[in-house]
Structure 1
């Protein structure tokens, strides 16, 4: 399959590009580092016509809104840039996909759309799944949820399947090492992981989910949480909840036979995509991966 990948030079983009090419897909890269902006519709339309599907990864992360390095922005200006990149950029990608007749659209969303993901309030239920209400309260999280809504409207209007992936914080080989070092040298670092329910995902597992989202037989619009099986911080899920919400009702948090299950539930991604995580936050080792769909 010929696949347009926006943001192909980023950390996730590089992992996705490598895996897609390993499985025989042809990647057509489109990245701001090459002067290619998803806000420039004419160039985006031209690139999309060379592809059969699109993976939209371009955009700012939650910590680094797009800006010229020498520019000092107000919080309002930062928020506006995030909305332009994530909402208008996604709208442009979807229109380019419609114009080019793409058969599949995969968009990178975020677990931040949940709103209470970072521990600012107690979740309604645990483990947290796709049926949990979304209460985004930052420009980044709101923009990601709006991008998902655009995908849903696009699928309703065109019939083209869309997949919105919701990963938590990502681990690479470099962040694996930094996490271990921080936990060893800064005991307080664990609290930052606990606030996010210890949820992390190896970038290789995210790339695998993208590949499966492109090739799995499906219809409709899907919003899928992705998470490593074992929480990153505390030994088990019950301890995470006890630390985060002292005195909270623990029912449904973790079964006795699964004390280390993740607090984000990836069951729907497993069902829809045939996906499962194969890398742990605590090591770079992996288990044999089943053959993805072709």
Structure 2
């Protein structure tokens, strides 16, 4: 399979590249607005690098149509609200996601993965305290974005719904990633500071694996899935106790939380793409 990966100089993309090369026979077209970073595998026959400004729609469409692409993994975006003015962050991200979907449809690509975020519900970047109706969170929980970045991810998911409605043969997976790390995260010293995003993280290899698994699905349409570690990162703290301390009004979806249980319900990702945080099937 020939896969276009946008935002290829980003952290998640780098983990994805390594996973593809080490576990699959896929080839990659890596697209970013800046040249490949030092140490890139420029001579690898399975990799092609393209430098392009994807906010210009014709550039996006040209890449997808001229390369005979089988799938698209769209990771390009501002990854948080602090790197640019709010107008730039929101408008760039929303334009990029629309261009990705529109170009995929025009290029007749049927397999698309879009990088969403746990912040689509409002989490780490909420201006005040985020409101959580119940724990663990699932994909049915209301989205209440407040900042420009989180809003752009919520809009992206609405875009995906629209494209799936009018293109019934396409499969689109919006993967709500948490903080991607190379080793298990331990926030035992900053429990209060990590409360907004619910003491979560995802291992880089597991996040990359989710991207590949989401390309190999029998279903059509658009699905949103949490891709988060199954255990919280507040080492030494009981999940139920910290939930009561920092979110005393939040209900439980199905009984008390177990001591190390994460605050995100990722059962949908396991059901629809066969993903588990550690372990689970590897992509073909």
Task: Check whether TM > 0.5.
Answer: yes
Equivalent residue for 2:227? 226
Alignment of 1:266-285 (within 5 A): 266-278=266-278
Shift of the 101–249 alpha-carbon distance from structure 1 to 2, 3 Å rule, reads closer
Q: Structure 1: 5+ residue runs without aligned partners?
A: 67-77, 279-288
Which one has the bigger helix percentage? 1
* Residue number among 136, 156, 165 corresponding to 1:156 in the alignment: 165
How far does residue 127 in structure 1 lie from its aligned partner after superposition?
Answer: 0.9
Equivalent residue for 2:98? 91
Residues 240 and 256 in structure 2, CA contact (< 8 A), matched pair in contact too: no
Which one has the bigger strand percentage? 2
Residues 238 and 253 in structure 1, CA contact (< 8 A), matched pair in contact too: no
Cα distance in 2 for partners of 1:162, 1:276 equals: 19
Cα distance in 2 for partners of 1:116, 1:53 equals: 30
Residues 15 and 203 in structure 1, CA contact (< 8 A), matched pair in contact too: yes
Which ranges of 4 or more aligned residues in structure 1 deviate by more than 6 Å? none
Secondary structure of the 1:141 match is helix
Equivalent residue for 1:240? 242
How far does residue 122 in structure 1 lie from its aligned partner after superposition?
Answer: 3.5
1:105 aligns to 2:112 (yes or no): yes
The CA deviation string for residues 10-67 of structure 1, in whole angstroms up to 9 with x for no partner, is 110111122223311111010111241211222221211211110000011114435x
Cα distance in 1 for partners of 2:17, 2:102 equals: 22
TM-score by length of 1: 0.82
Equivalent residue for 1:281? none
**RMSD between aligned residues:** 2.1
Cα distance in 1 for partners of 2:81, 2:133 equals: 26
Alignment of 1:51-130 (within 5 A): 51-66=69-84, 78-116=85-123, 120-130=129-139
Equivalent residue for 1:41? 57
How far does residue 197 in structure 1 lie from its aligned partner after superposition?
Answer: 1.2
Residues 113 and 211 in structure 2, CA contact (< 8 A), matched pair in contact too: yes
Cα distance in 2 for partners of 1:194, 1:115 equals: 12
How far does residue 170 in structure 1 lie from its aligned partner after superposition?
Answer: 1.9
The CA deviation string for residues 214-241 of structure 1, in whole angstroms up to 9 with x for no partner, is 1122211000012111100152210220
Cα distance in 2 for partners of 1:210, 1:36 equals: 22
Cα distance in 1 for partners of 2:256, 2:191 equals: 23
Cα distance in 1 for partners of 2:211, 2:194 equals: 25
Secondary structure of the 2:119 match is helix
Equivalent residue for 1:8? 8
How far does residue 254 in structure 1 lie from its aligned partner after superposition?
Answer: 5.3
TM-score by length of 2: 0.85
Secondary structure of the 1:194 match is coil
Q: Structure 2: 5+ residue runs without aligned partners?
A: 36-50
